[in-house]
Amino acid sequence: GAVVSQHPSWVICKSGTSVKIECRSLDFQATTMFWYRQFPKQSLMLMATSNEGSKATYEQGVEKDKFLINHASLTLSTLTVTSAHPEDSSFYICSVTGTGSYEQYFGPGTRLTVT
């Protein structure tokens, strides 16, 4: 399977600031990347789908102006949480998949804490 990394692995920021999370596919041409959010003791919730070179498609209820996604290459996608608030504190996980593939390969996640 694909090797996927995320950076940073954890971050603490102050309310009102912005945080950028990187997702890298190290050995796989990721035509599609997904971003999930997972609150404690809950399931993974899909936030958005991004295809390389295209605008991301956001799930219902996810603010596209608050969660900025860029997928500029087949190996890198970034998620920027703008004007973060304590309720944005969560575990953010990316995954990658290839064209015509069902299987998703997950990154190790980024723990965001907003104080």
Partner 1 sequence: GENVEQHPSTLSVQEGDSAVIKCTYSDSASNYFPWYKQELGKRPQLIIDIRSNVGEKKDQRIAVTLNKTAKHFSLHITETQPEDSAVYFCAETKGGGNKLTFGTGTQLKVEL
Interface with partner 1 by CB under 8 A: which residues?
Answer: 1, 32, 34, 42-46, 49, 91, 93, 97, 101-104, 106-109, 111
Pick between residue 29 and residue 83 the one whose CB is nearest to partner 1: 29
Minimum distance from residue 61 beta carbon to partner 1 (Å): 12
Minimum distance from residue 83 beta carbon to partner 1 (Å): 26
User: Tokens 């809950």, residue?
Assistant: 42
Pick between residue 28 and residue 106 the one whose CB is nearest to partner 1: 106
Alpha-carbon distance of 4 to 14, in angstroms, equals 28
Burial of 79 (0-12, 13-18, 19+ CB in 10 A): buried
Instruction: Calculate the alpha carbon distances from 22 to 39, 41, 53 in Å.
Output: 19, 24, 16
List the structure tokens of 77: 């996608």
Pick between residue 86 and residue 102 the one whose CB is nearest to partner 1: 102
Minimum distance from residue 80 beta carbon to partner 1 (Å): 21
